[in-house]
Amino acid sequence: MPGFRGWGQGDAMSTTMTDFEPGAGALGDPPADAAVSARGLVKRYGDLTAVDGIDFDVRRGTCLGVLGPNGAGKTTTIEMLEGIKRADDGEIVVLGMRWGKDDRAIQERIGVQLQETEFQDKLSVHETLRLFASFFENSAPLDEIIEIIGLEEKRTAFVKTLSGGQKQRLSIGCALLNNPDVLFLDEPTTGLDPQARRRVWDVVETFKAGGGSVLLTTHYMEEAERLADDLIIVDHGKVIARGSPASIIASLGAESVVQFSMVDAAVDAIEEAHLLALEGVNAVRVEGSSMVLSVTGTQGVISGLFALVDERGLDLEDLRTHRPTLEDVFVALTGKHLRDG
């Protein structure tokens, strides 16, 4: 784990956490417009507590993103909401109904895309959709669904001839067949190239535009930023931040992130204390061979940085600045990257 000071490691943790933590704690009663709500969800596997008291609401017509690294408990959480796994503790309400009591009625009104479903190789797109459509009392016309997921030309092609992105869209198509009120998407674009990913996002946005609610898990911050109206960031089975993507990023209190490394010099050739002393630097952390600064007033910081580098006769290399992202928030909160797993 990279060293991290000023953003709350060790002793400083308790104070700094509250500084920009956008309300990660428990929620009160579900709001009236919640399509899905969860309170105090817990799931244990033996000694391991995979989900440790998670609360959230999906407001009708919006998308709630559950962002977190692999192993954070995202899939376990969404599968409890889908009725696949039973929660050890906590309460789940889906469209005003509860699992264990109204299973059939819930299933008629939700759409589910699971991680890693492999459809049968030698069924065509149309046959696969027709099979799933037969399970519902009311289903949308298949050709309409095929159009939404953009597989018109693959209508009669076997599943095994589809690309990864096309398979994923077929999977979402199966989830849309019953005109669901809520769509559950578990890492819908993992493993897809950027173009295929955007096509999946288009399908989800079309669904949302029609008034549908979405619960989405992802470990891609771009995906969360693009699709989610509300976000919870989870790690080790707990919610560590919640709010809109913009408010979560704003909670970092940084205008910009400055990253640099130096030619032929150790990463600590400039002491952290000196960097922190620069006007506008809020936090410093080491990441591989780079230093990462969280700053307000980028220009001033960079001038100061040049002065420090000149003083020591060093050469800057690979100087970059970017707007803070959810990734920066996640690193700030946990000291690790989303992709680290």
Partner 1 sequence: MASLNQLKELTRVRLYGFWREPEAMFWVFLFPLVLAGVLGFAFRSGGVVPTTIGVVNGPQAAAMSEVLALDEHLEEERFETREEAYIKLRRGAVDALFESIDPPEISMDPTRPDSEMARMRVLRALALSAGAEDAPLEIDEVTEKGSRYVDFLFPGLLGMNLMGTGMWGVGFAIADIRRRKFLKRMLVTPMSRGYFFMSFILSRLVFLLFELLILTSFGAWVLGVPFRGDILSYLIVSFTGAILFAGMGLLVASRAKTIEGVSGIMNFVMMPMWLASGVFFSYERFPEFLHPAIKALPLTSLNDALRAVMIDGETVFQQGLEMGIMAAWTVVCFVIALKIFRWG
Q: Which residues bind partner 1 (CB under 8 A)?
A: 82-84, 104, 107-108, 110, 112, 114, 116-120, 122-123, 127, 130-132, 134-137, 174
- Give whichever of 107 and 213 is closer to partner 1, judged by the CB atom: 107
Residues 254 and 328: beta-carbon distance below 8 Å: yes
- In whole angstroms, the minimum distance from the beta carbon of 176 to partner 1 comes to 12
User: Helix, strand, or coil here: 98?
Assistant: coil
- In whole angstroms, the minimum distance from the beta carbon of 124 to partner 1 comes to 9
- Give whichever of 56 and 132 is closer to partner 1, judged by the CB atom: 132
- Give whichever of 35 and 110 is closer to partner 1, judged by the CB atom: 110
- In whole angstroms, the minimum distance from the beta carbon of 136 to partner 1 comes to 6
User: Helix, strand, or coil here: 87?
Assistant: coil
DSSP H/E element including 148: helix 142-148
DSSP H helical segments within 244-283, as ranges? 245-250, 272-277
Of the candidates 7, 82, 79, 10, which has an alpha carbon nearest to the alpha carbon of residue 43? 79
- Give whichever of 108 and 222 is closer to partner 1, judged by the CB atom: 108
- In whole angstroms, the minimum distance from the beta carbon of 119 to partner 1 comes to 6
- In whole angstroms, the minimum distance from the beta carbon of 89 to partner 1 comes to 20
* Residue 70 CB partners (closer than 8 Å, separation 6+): 219, 341
The residue type found at 252 is L
* Residue 89 CB partners (closer than 8 Å, separation 6+): 40, 41, 42
DSSP H/E element including 149: none
- In whole angstroms, the minimum distance from the beta carbon of 261 to partner 1 comes to 43
- Give whichever of 127 and 202 is closer to partner 1, judged by the CB atom: 127
- Give whichever of 145 and 295 is closer to partner 1, judged by the CB atom: 145
Q: Could you give the C-alpha distances from 105 to 38, 94, 188, in angstroms and in order?
A: 18, 10, 25
Q: Could you give the C-alpha distances from 60 to 45, 63, 92, 94, 217, in angstroms and in order?
A: 32, 8, 16, 11, 17
